[in-house]
Amino acid sequence: MLLILGTVFATSILSGVIGMAGGIILMAVLVSVQSVAAAMIVHGTVQATANGSRAFFLRQHIVWRILPGYLLGAALALASFITVALVPDPAVILLTIGAFPWLARALRSLHGLDITWGATPVACGALVTSAQLFAGASGPVLDVFYLNARLNRRQIIASKAVTQTLGHLLKLVYYGLIVGVAEAIPGWFLAVAVATAVFGTRIGTLLLKHIDDTQFRRVSGQVILALGALCMVQGGRTLLA
């Protein structure tokens, strides 16, 4: 329990500063100590709170026009997953979330993936929500759609926070109501985890003020690639064990 709470605090600060990566670290830890369904519930509760509070703290910077299309794409993804009731293996989850940052890097040469343009939010909602439901985390996939967006760091983090909150809530619906969780998760633990996430998020958003846009893009890219590599190594070890 202490390991999970410590990870929640640290990852909430990290995500508050660079807008991603925290969810991947937390998911990697959770699937190592819990069943997939339980990990998804804890992760979804914590991340929905962390992202929701981040969106609130930075609410004046949210780009609201992307939300309708994103909601449509997310709804299509959820409907597809409900049809097949898929629950992935923990090793596959680690390999998948580890591959996301490197896939995003490979796609940097693509043009037109601008979250503010045309029907792109629909595609973003469908792909990111699918990643949320399958792997639990989707930050690097979401990041691809912001590579060419003419937004500053606060707009990026605030807008990501809104859509990620939605994704985590849908994940709670899917794993909590559709798939179901075999083991009981103590209510007090979720309450403490939620409070820890909000506290860590607040610290992270305050630290964001001391980072400029250039530093933000450079540091976030380096951190997410390193984490991706570690997740793939752990996933490979788990698969071969």
Domain locations in the chain as residue ranges: 2-240
- 165 falls in which pLDDT band (50, 70, 90)? very high
172 closest CA partner among 11, 48, 29, 59:
48
Give dist(CA 153, CA 143) in Å, integer: 12
pLDDT of amino acid 77: 93
Per-residue tokens: 173 = 């619906």
Write out pLDDT tens, residues 48-105. 988 898 899 899 999 999 999 999 999 999 999 988 877 778 788 778 877 877 876 7
99 closest CA partner among 216, 7, 219, 236:
236
pTM greater than 0.75 (yes/no): yes
Give dist(CA 14, CA 21) in Å, integer: 7
Per-residue tokens: 222 = 């380096």
- 159 falls in which pLDDT band (50, 70, 90)? very high
pLDDT of amino acid 197: 87
pLDDT of amino acid 182: 59
Helix (H) or strand (E) holding 115: none
Q: How far is CA 158 from the centre of its chain?
A: 13
Task: Using the structure block, give the residue that is written with the tokens 């909150």.
Answer: 165
- 110 falls in which pLDDT band (50, 70, 90)? low
CB atoms within 10 A of CB 3: 11
